[in-house]
Amino acid sequence: MGKLDGKVAIVSGSGRGIGRACAIKLASEGARVVVNDLDAAPAQETLDAIRALGGQGVAVIGSVTENGFAERFVATAIDTWGGLDIIVNNAGFTWDSVIQKMSDEQFDAVLDVHLKAPFRILRAAIGYIRDASKRDAEAGREVFRKVVNVSSISGTHGNAGQTNYSTAKAGITGMTRTLAKEWGRYKVNVNAVAFGYIVTRMTQAVDQPGTTVDVGGRALPAGIPAQQVRMMEAGIPLGRGGTPEEAANAIYLLCTPEADYISGHILMATGGL
């Protein structure tokens, strides 16, 4: 018996990194998961891992920034399994530069994926959530649903070279706290996790600059110079960056029944940084 048996979850950006680890963690605890990625191959890899555990999953391929994506994402959960209990807004990427060199496209692209896309997904979900909450109340049931938004210490403290990302992540904390107030009446716990240094393909140490990854047709810089990583890790009390699995565990905590009276909270998962 898992703590999330019978629950239905959607996790954006779950083909790789933190999102993948999160989807697998939720599935391991009994949730049925709608996986999402820009590309079919990594999404399928996550589905394969979920099914290897005996879990259930389906995929919605595409960018969270596309018009109509949010509605399709939410509808897939409801149409496939008849409900929606957990929403994890995780998809994102970084595209760094100091402000004087940052283009409008660069600023807008990062805000679109980290802030506007979660807004659209949550807006698309409210109709079902409102109706389900009403049915629960009429039946005398108190059923809690969960929203976990992914934020960052760049949003809580700022970070040089990340005007776009820091602004978006600060915005998601405001959205989290606002929806905690708006959706409390529907028995929805709305929280966020602000991560410190988590080691993923976008943040791994690299010896040579120039490494890129393809994100929606854009070749974006990936990796952090190894010397800079060593300096960051020296400032982390636990002595190292976190793994995607450790990051997923922080998200999972806020999806459990033990979190039914926690809402509007920003959980810092930073190794003490």
The total number of structural domains that make up the chain: 1
Is 88 a domain residue? yes
Is 217 a domain residue? no
Is 233 a domain residue? no
What residues are labeled active site?
Answer: 165
- CA gap 218, 168 in Å, rounded: 19
The residue ranges of DSSP E strands in the chain, in sequence order, are: 8-11, 32-37, 57-61, 86-89, 145-152, 188-195, 205-206, 212-215, 218-221, 224-225, 266-269
Structural domain of residue 15, as residue ranges?
A: 8-198+243-269
Q: What is the CATH number of the domain that holds 81?
A: 3.40.50.720
Strand partners, 212: 221
Among 165, 133, 141, smallest CA distance to 152 is for: 165
pLDDT at 210 over 80: no
CB atoms within 10 A of CB 124: 18
Mean predicted confidence (pLDDT) in 218-229: 81
**pLDDT at 176 (0 to 100):** 98
**Predicted confidence (pLDDT) per residue in 26-73, tens digit:** 999 999 999 999 999 999 999 999 999 999 999 999 999 999 999 999
Is 32 a domain residue? yes
Q: Do the beta carbons of residue 68 and residue 45 sit within 8 Å? A: no
- CA gap 25, 86 in Å, rounded: 13
